[in-house]
Amino acid sequence: MTLEILTADALAPLRHGFFTRRGGASSGVFAGLNCGPGSSDQAEVVALNRARAAQAMQVAPERLVTLHQVHSAQVVTIDAPPEERPRADGLVTRAPGLALGVLTADCMPVLFADPEAGVIGAAHAGWRGARDGILEATLAAMVSEGAWTSRVVAVIGPSISQGAYEVGPEFVESFLEEDPENARFFASGAGDRALFDLPAYGLARLRAAGVGHAEWTRHCTYADPARFYSYRRATHAKEADYGRLLATIRL
């Protein structure tokens, strides 16, 4: 099966993509294009999947760079493939021919570009990383490389949507303590539960930071098991593990 790659007109003409799970070599709960070396999938199969994605991005496999993600606001700027995966959640480069990648399974994959400056970025943003500032930190790293915030385009790829993201009262309270205005990202759920709109929160943070354009592709990872991996869906199904989706961009 051929790979399925979602793209955004706003990031054109840069080569980029939010890969779905279709077209990969993994099987079982990982069936499809599992690109996560941190999963319990067979390492050689994950490597094959990543090589297929790299080929689609027209780079050698070693030039597809991803992170050891830790739900932080740490960003790494690179000009060559690192020897080991950095422990961080954002990547920035101005080096042509390097594909920056992040791995997700409900969290937001965010691709950034200032084509005029020749600077790109990628960030993994769950609720914790977004609240701690990973999106703003990625923008700051891009500015340090010559980007202008007002020219930056940021696109959030497939993520868990509000209807599938049930949280408890302590979660809500922590966001309201940070900023009472965050109440707009929650809807009432069953009993004392609430529904959190992670993509809307990400978009609000990006726009408040001054990016020129921000959008979400409007694909929900939880709601579409044929196309996307989902940590929460796997947890609800009591599955032992889950695959990771790749989002990537290159100059």
**pLDDT (tens digit, 9 = 90+) per residue, 168-190?**
999 999 999 999 999 999 999 99
pLDDT number for residue 1: 67
Tally the domains of the chain.
1
DSSP state letter for 159:
B
Regions in the chain scoring below 50 on pLDDT: none
Report if residue 189 sits inside a domain.
no
Q: What is the pTM of this model?
A: 0.97
Angle between helices 134-144 and 198-208 (to 10 degrees): 40
Report if residue 240 sits inside a domain.
yes
Does a cis peptide bond (omega within 30 degrees of 0) precede residue 13?
Answer: yes
Report if residue 181 sits inside a domain.
no
Report if residue 166 sits inside a domain.
no
CATH of the domain at 34: 3.60.140.10
Expressed as residue numbers, the domain containing 146 is 5-161+216-250
Report if residue 125 sits inside a domain.
yes
Radius of gyration (C-alpha) of the chain in whole angstroms: 17
